[in-house]
């Protein structure tokens, strides 16, 4: 039976070497390098085919008895992944194993003292003794260690590699990394200087290589693809130019070529099983029209199709929601991020889990997501798809990812070497803590950082106060600095000064502190006049409220409030008072509030320049006005929209007889 020769976005494996074209030069160069050094570095841009070059091109150069490859991806931790792959290959070593029994030509000579092996080196030896084939450890997408891994994970891995290289084991190490992350290897190279001695850059595909891929696939004996006789070069050149578009470039990205060839085949045959024969012609290529950004357009089509396919089962599933489900599979930098279903559910806590699972299944069916049973994770089919996914994220999604990374990296270091979060970092983090799940260690470190910052502020304020006392400044200044001592830990100094009533309360509180020398009494004096929500609260509860009001996004702190007027005495008339509730300390951030009324009201629009002011409303009982639209216009020009439901308000506040 004829076989479809293209792999779409999957990498080529050893069994595909008959249809792997266009990389002969790189294959030969890489084959020579592995005999010249214990470590080889393969690098190139995303989508240049580094994985296929190693797994298919290089592997195909070896006889089966000379090649035992183990592919290692970071997973949750590269050190655990390496250990797991070795154990699955027969590298689990019993505690009573005597390694001195199996010396061979790969070992140090017999006159040398036998070196104590690390546990990983012992595992490698055990794997070798299963078949006596040299072991090739291939660390694919090695950049994940630096993008997703902690400092501790990286340090352990460096020591592991040093142990492997010093052990004299029959092993070669091949690292595959995207070239934009070469700079991350600085510390790695310092510990392992030979890392960069043998390296191969995988170039993008030029016209000649594209011709080799297309013509080679068509001429392959078992291929169901053919090219119209006499049009071979013209078809290949036309495909190259279609993908290149208007760019002044001599190369194209390999994933673009793979997606284009698959779309061309489907245009000709319509066979999604990819079993029918297809003849590529110049006319068929020209019918493809303008291609544009192939991968982005391809993703847009897939998202739209899946959203439409599942719309009947999940009416709320619009394309933007489908993008949101796809988003966690890409890192901030636009690389793959393998995750389990449980991790995906944790990252999307507000979405129906069954809907999320069905979307993942649909993407897997369409070959955009791939399941790895060894790690129980799903990941994007190709690294080049991650970047357009990352670019689709909202500002809030991006900020949340940045915060999660900040928290993880800060806590990823051993506690004795950690630094506390700074005040700016804490303010940045705080509003998002409820939106992602932190480990107990992460939560504890955030709390400790807050406590350390508050203590430091109090010490600094106390020092300034003592300095002023020593210099015999005026009593007013002493009182003012005393106030700072108390409120420094609350992060609200500047905001308090903006409120006249707060200033009066501070002065009163300052007199109290001068008389009683207690910060708690000052706090009660200051906040006692600030509203009902501060009454009967502990100092810690007040501190928490003030901190949130000072640091959270204003959008999350604004609410519409109303109260029934005592003048209501039955009938259809409904009189009540309405106001905007928000942190008074943030009053300057609001320029005006527009209340948009509808039928049943005398005034259609009310504009309040003072957002804290309240006003009475008389609803005359005729017309229908289920909701009022309220526009809060901020000082920076943005507008926040709120809606007040009269129906709900009347239901929860019935008229008194």
Do 526 and 578 share a domain, yes or no? Answer: no
19 in Cβ contact with 217 (< 8 Å): yes
pTM above 0.75, yes or no: no
Do 197 and 300 share a domain, yes or no? Answer: no
Do 441 and 501 share a domain, yes or no? Answer: no
DSSP letter at 266 equals: H
Q: Is residue 602 part of a domain?
A: yes
**Separation CA 487–CA 481 (nearest Å):** 10
590 in Cβ contact with 569 (< 8 Å): no
Domain hosting 486: range is: 473-551
Q: How far is CA 42 from CA 84, 146, 203, 210, in A?
A: 24, 16, 11, 21
Q: Is residue 435 part of a domain?
A: yes
Q: Is residue 82 part of a domain?
A: yes
Largest CA distance in the chain: 108
Do 346 and 420 share a domain, yes or no? Answer: no
Instruction: State the residue for tokens 């997408």.
Output: 141
Q: Is residue 4 part of a domain?
A: no
Per-residue b/e over 380-400, b at no fewer than 16 CB within 10 Å?
A: bbbbbbbbbbbebbeeebeeb
Do 432 and 564 share a domain, yes or no? Answer: no
Q: Is residue 340 part of a domain?
A: yes
Stretches where the chain sits below pLDDT 70 are 94-115, 289-292, 468-540, 543, 564-575, 598-603, 618-626, 654-657
Q: Is residue 23 part of a domain?
A: no
Map residue 292 onto helix, strand or coil.
coil
Residue 116: its pLDDT value, please? 76
Do 619 and 545 share a domain, yes or no? Answer: no
In this predicted model, what pLDDT tens digit does every residue of 250-264 receive, in sequence order? 998 888 898 899 999
Do 192 and 68 share a domain, yes or no? Answer: yes
Name the strand (E) or helix (H) holding 576: strand 574-581
Residue where a domain terminates, one of 510, 529, 551: 551
616 in Cβ contact with 583 (< 8 Å): no
Instruction: State the residue for tokens 């592995």.
Output: 34
CATH number for the domain spanning 308: value is 1.10.10.10
Do 540 and 560 share a domain, yes or no? Answer: no
CATH number for the domain spanning 171: value is 3.40.50
Do 356 and 483 share a domain, yes or no? Answer: no
Do 176 and 59 share a domain, yes or no? Answer: yes
Residue where a domain terminates, one of 533, 551, 569: 551
Q: What is the total count of domains within the chain?
A: 5
Do 338 and 442 share a domain, yes or no? Answer: no
Q: Is residue 258 part of a domain?
A: no
Q: Is residue 222 part of a domain?
A: no
**For residue 296, how many other CB atoms are within 10 A of its CB?**
15
Do 520 and 625 share a domain, yes or no? Answer: no
Residues 6 or more apart from 8 whose CB is under 8 A from it?
A: 258, 259, 262, 367, 381
Residue where a domain terminates, one of 170, 202, 234: 202
Three-class HEC string of 358-374: HHHHHHHHCCCEEEECC
């Amino acid at each position: 039976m004829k076989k479809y020769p293209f792999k779409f976005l999957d990498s080529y494996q050893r069994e595909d070497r008959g249809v792997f074209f266009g990389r002969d030069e790189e294959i030969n160069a890489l084959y020579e390098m592995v005999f010249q050094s214990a470590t080889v570095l393969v690098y190139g841009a995303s989508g240049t085919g580094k994985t296929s070059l190693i797994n298919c091109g290089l592997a195909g150069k070896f006889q089966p008895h000379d090649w035992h490859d183990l592919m290692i991806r970071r997973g949750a931790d590269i050190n655990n992944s390496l250990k797991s792959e070795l154990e699955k290959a027969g590298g689990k070593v019993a505690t009573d194993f005597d390694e001195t029994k199996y010396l061979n030509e790969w070992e140090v000579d017999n006159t040398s003292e036998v070196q104590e092996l690390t546990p990983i080196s012992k595992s490698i030896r055990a794997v070798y003794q299963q078949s006596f084939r040299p072991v090739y450890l291939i660390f694919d997408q090695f950049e994940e260690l630096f993008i997703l891994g902690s400092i501790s994970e990286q340090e352990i891995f460096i020591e592991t590699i040093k142990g492997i290289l010093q052990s004299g084991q029959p092993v070669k190490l091949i690292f595959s990394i995207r070239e934009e992350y070469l700079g991350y290897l600085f510390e790695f190279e310092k510990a392992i200087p030979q890392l960069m001695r043998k390296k191969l850059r995988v170039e993008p595909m030029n016209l000649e290589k594209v011709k080799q891929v297309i013509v080679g696939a068509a001429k392959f004996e078992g291929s169901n693809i053919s090219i119209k006789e006499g049009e071979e070069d013209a078809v290949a050149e036309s495909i190259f130019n279609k993908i290149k578009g208007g760019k002044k470039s001599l190369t194209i990205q390999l994933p673009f070529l793979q997606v284009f060839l698959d779309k061309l085949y489907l245009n000709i045959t319509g066979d999604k099983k990819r079993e029918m024969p297809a003849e590529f012609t110049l006319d068929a290529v020209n019918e493809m029209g303008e291609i544009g950004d192939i991968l982005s357009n391809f993703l847009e089509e897939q998202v739209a199709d899946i959203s439409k396919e599942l719309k009947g089962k999940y009416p709320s599933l619009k394309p933007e929601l489908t993008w949101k489900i796809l988003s966690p599979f890409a890192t901030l930098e636009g690389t793959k991020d393998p995750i389990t279903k449980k991790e995906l559910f944790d990252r999307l806590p507000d979405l129906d889990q069954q809907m999320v699972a069905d979307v993942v299944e649909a993407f897997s069916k369409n070959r955009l997501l791939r399941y790895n049973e060894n790690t129980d994770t799903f990941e994007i089919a190709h690294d080049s798809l991650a970047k357009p996914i990352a670019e689709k994220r909202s500002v809030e999604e991006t900020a949340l990812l940045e915060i999660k990374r900040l928290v993880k990296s800060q806590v990823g270091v051993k506690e004795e070497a950690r630094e506390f979060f700074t005040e700016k970092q804490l303010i940045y983090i705080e509003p998002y803590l409820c939106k992602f799940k932190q480990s107990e260690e992460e939560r504890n470190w955030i709390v400790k950082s807050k406590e350390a910052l508050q203590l430091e502020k109090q010490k600094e304020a106390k020092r300034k106060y003592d300095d002023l006392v020593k210099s015999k400044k005026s009593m007013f200044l002493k009182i003012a600095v005393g106030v700072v001592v108390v409120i420094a830990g609350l992060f609200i100094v500047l905001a308090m000064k903006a409120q006249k009533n707060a200033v009066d309360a501070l002065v009163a509180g300052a007199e109290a502190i001068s008389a009683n020398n207690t910060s708690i009494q000052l706090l009660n004096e200051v906040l006692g006049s600030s509203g009902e929500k501060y009454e009967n609260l502990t100092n810690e509860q007040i501190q928490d409220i003030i901190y949130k009001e000072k640091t959270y996004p204003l959008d999350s702190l604004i609410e519409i409030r109303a109260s029934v007027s005592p003048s209501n005495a039955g009938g259809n008339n409904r009189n009540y008072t309405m106001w905007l509730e928000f942190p008074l300390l943030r009053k300057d951030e609001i320029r005006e509030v527009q209340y948009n009324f509808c039928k049943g009201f005398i005034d259609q629009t009310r504009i309040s320049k003072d957002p804290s002011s309240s006003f009475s409303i008389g609803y005359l009982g005729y017309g229908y006005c289920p909701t009022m639209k309220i526009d809060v216009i901020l000082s920076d020009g943005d507008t926040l929209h709120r809606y007040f439901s009269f129906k709900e308000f009347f239901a929860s506040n019935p008229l008194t007889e």
